[in-house]
Structure 1
């Protein structure tokens, strides 16, 4: 091979012939071509499942969906702050039954928006906790 001389090849075979070896044998091709990630939204809120089925329940304004047609298990699209007994926690596409069982804030369209509010809620809770402890110590 001569230095600083450019050569154009029209096929992989020409390249292999030129170098007298199969230079492409160590290349691993991505076999996941048909595994394309699609973005799905229900009422403008993101969904973590491919091919969701939108669900409309009269009187319920949440962006609901199911993972299978005819399923009785519903999920709510978007990001949420869920208030469990000990703390507020983040959630993405929680089950409707979870939202019915616990206090929640949401839905939010972005994780960033939800995390900002979650941090604010947790800080307020911690501040109230400290204030209550301080009042107890003063007595």
Structure 2
């Protein structure tokens, strides 16, 4: 229980401080941010419950982690590869390429029987290829 409470507290604190206070409500009272933190604790608790329900559908926890990881890690790898090795591609192109690639991977996961490890490759290659195309379209000059 203490590990779970620590995890939920850390996620809620990070969400409140790094996102909510910076992007949503910059000038709020302490009481407001305490309520926001409680809300985010409940939110992350529901996310954890959702993951537990999903993990119940597969054979074991390792497979559940690999499936969820494969859905998201390919796009993240593509972002890092572009950032480190392809300096001519700018941030907005990479952002939109990652969003589109992630949506494609999620649609493929829901509608096809592709082995889940292929989603890493599809997401990564999708981000790199789309970032090139989007960067060309945005920077026609």
Shorter-normalised TM-score: what interval?
A: under 0.3
Structure with higher RCO (Cα < 8 A, 6+ apart):
2
Which of these two proteins has the greater Rg computed from alpha carbons? 1
Higher helix share: 2
TM-score of the superposition, structure 1-length normalised? 0.27
TM-score of the superposition, structure 2-length normalised? 0.27
